[in-house]
Copies of this chain bind each other. A is one copy, B any other.
Amino acid sequence: MSRSLIVQKFGGSSVANPERIKRVAQRVVETRRQGRDVVVVVSALGDTTDELLELARQISQDPPERELDMLMATGEQVSVALLAMAIEELGEDAISFTGAQVGIRTDSSHTKAKLIDINARRIQQELAKGRVVIVAGFQGISVNQDITTLGRGGSDLTAVALAEALDADACEIYTDVEGVFTADPRIVPNAHKLKSISYDEMLEMASLGAQVMQARSIFVAKRFDVPIHVRSSFSSREGTMITKAAKAMEDIVVSGVTLQRDEAKVTIRDVPDKPGMAAQIFKELAAQDINVDMIVQNVSREGATDVSFTVVKHDLPATLRVARHAAARVGAGDVATDEGVAKLSIVGIGMRSHSGVAAKMFEAMARERINIEMISTSEIKISCVIRKAHAERAVRAIHQAFGLSRR
């Protein structure tokens, strides 16, 4: 009979200094002494990644991405070595590995590499020797034997992928929050922690600004059905389980309310009301790798229409350049931008089978006299763009309307 195996991932703030590394070691050793095999994934210490990027910036404004990866990968290598030392200090056998050493193979897209596969053999050999295995998150190796990094949320991805490759019983993501909440507790003081949430809901919430995990890792977890436990590295309380939808959960219509304040609204006025005009503009934005989020096309008047859409603020300069160029070419008018917006969303797998969810949301906003400027929906989420100044009030009203505080 095989032993129980758990993958534990600790983020940068959990290993920011030697004291915290010792605390992480303590937790790993406790798990190990429960008789479980443990594989640990660690990010770079605290601000290391930013410090390395700053060093690079002092040398080049546009450094080669292969060399950036070579540089960045050292951050996690420092973490794994120090954590191995801390675990050994507590009397358990431990061994650290870089991504390359445990065969985390990726493509060659430096700074945002995609996982190809993981050769779990070396890890299994070390586990069989009774060792805690510590793997550098965020990094891999390409077919050319070059060091790659996986981009944002890369360490979570390493953990989920290792859990899948090793057929682990669980994947614990330790972070600086206690789990997934019905809303940001800084905005809604009586928001509560969810005991569990489905992959699909978590995917939507991640895309909608919940900072707990990147959508990318949840997508992989969903695909391979890897159960994830998001919990705090600073307490021993249970966090939130991310799994397939459980039966009992389907009665819950809405699981959470999210808020994004990093989007901007762009409006192209007087777009000629002919087929393919809007498509033309969005094709050019896509070609520039600009991710357009919500799109609204106003009612046509006098053969022309206003097209509005949102992008993340970071992409605004590039968006304006492309949009102005495209607008001129299709014979449209001005391009206006509005950074005073926020996007509020509700997410819930129960929406699929419940009608009237949107109406309830809109009513709650109407009672607060908050105007909705744009709406978009999917099977399990509804998003509204509103004035940023009203955003927090709106989140509280909706959280209340769906009874999220009372559970």
A: residues with CB less than 8 A from B are 18, 21-22, 52, 55-56, 58-60, 63-64, 66-68, 70-71, 73-74, 77-78, 80-82, 84-86, 88-89, 95-96, 98, 100-101, 122, 145-147
Quick one: copies of this chain in the complex?
Answer: 2
**Smallest CB–CB gap between A153 and chain B, Å?**
22
Whether A80 contacts B70 in the complex (CB less than 8 A), given A18-B55, A59-B22, A145-B101, comes out as yes
Hey, which chain B residues are within 8 Å of A63, CB to CB? 85, 88-89
> Closest residue of chain B to A93, judged by CB?
B64
Whether A59 contacts B86 in the complex (CB less than 8 A), given A66-B95, A95-B66, A145-B101, comes out as yes
Contact status B84-A64, CB under 8 Å: yes
Among B78, B84, B101, contact of A74 (Cβ-Cβ < 8 Å): B78
Contact status A85-B67, CB under 8 Å: yes
Among B18, B60, B77, contact of A58 (Cβ-Cβ < 8 Å): B18
- A313 CA to B294 CA, complexed, in Å: 73
Contact status A64-B85, CB under 8 Å: yes
Contact status A71-B81, CB under 8 Å: yes
> Closest residue of chain B to A86, judged by CB?
B59
Hey, which chain B residues are within 8 Å of A145, CB to CB? 101, 122
**Smallest CB–CB gap between A371 and chain B, Å?**
49
- A18 CA to B56 CA, complexed, in Å: 8
- Could you list 19 examples of A-B contacts with CB < 8 Å? A22-B59, A55-B82, A56-B82, A56-B85, A59-B82, A59-B85, A60-B86, A60-B89, A63-B88, A64-B84, A67-B82, A67-B88, A68-B85, A70-B81, A71-B82, A73-B77, A74-B74, A98-B147, A101-B145
Hey, which chain B residues are within 8 Å of A146, CB to CB? 101
Hey, which chain B residues are within 8 Å of A66, CB to CB? 95
- A85 CA to B92 CA, complexed, in Å: 40
> Closest residue of chain B to A19, judged by CB?
B58
- A227 CA to B81 CA, complexed, in Å: 37
Hey, which chain B residues are within 8 Å of A85, CB to CB? 56, 59-60, 63-64, 67-68, 71
- A146 CA to B125 CA, complexed, in Å: 14
- A300 CA to B77 CA, complexed, in Å: 59
Contact status B73-A88, CB under 8 Å: no
**Smallest CB–CB gap between A76 and chain B, Å?**
9
Contact status B18-A59, CB under 8 Å: yes
Contact status B52-A78, CB under 8 Å: yes
> Closest residue of chain B to A18, judged by CB?
B58
Contact status A88-B74, CB under 8 Å: no
Contact status B95-A78, CB under 8 Å: no
- A52 CA to B45 CA, complexed, in Å: 12
Hey, which chain B residues are within 8 Å of A22, CB to CB? 59
Among B68, B86, B95, contact of A81 (Cβ-Cβ < 8 Å): B68
> Closest residue of chain B to A17, judged by CB?
B58
Q: Which 7 A-B pairs have the closest CB atoms?
A: A71-B81, A18-B58, A70-B81, A74-B74, A63-B85, A60-B89, A67-B84
**Smallest CB–CB gap between A101 and chain B, Å?**
6
Hey, which chain B residues are within 8 Å of A64, CB to CB? 84-85, 88
- A59 CA to B22 CA, complexed, in Å: 7
Most central of A66, A74, A89, A147 by chain B CB within 10 Å? A74
**Smallest CB–CB gap between A264 and chain B, Å?**
32
Hey, which chain B residues are within 8 Å of A70, CB to CB? 77, 80-81, 84, 96, 98
**Smallest CB–CB gap between A208 and chain B, Å?**
36
- A157 CA to B77 CA, complexed, in Å: 24
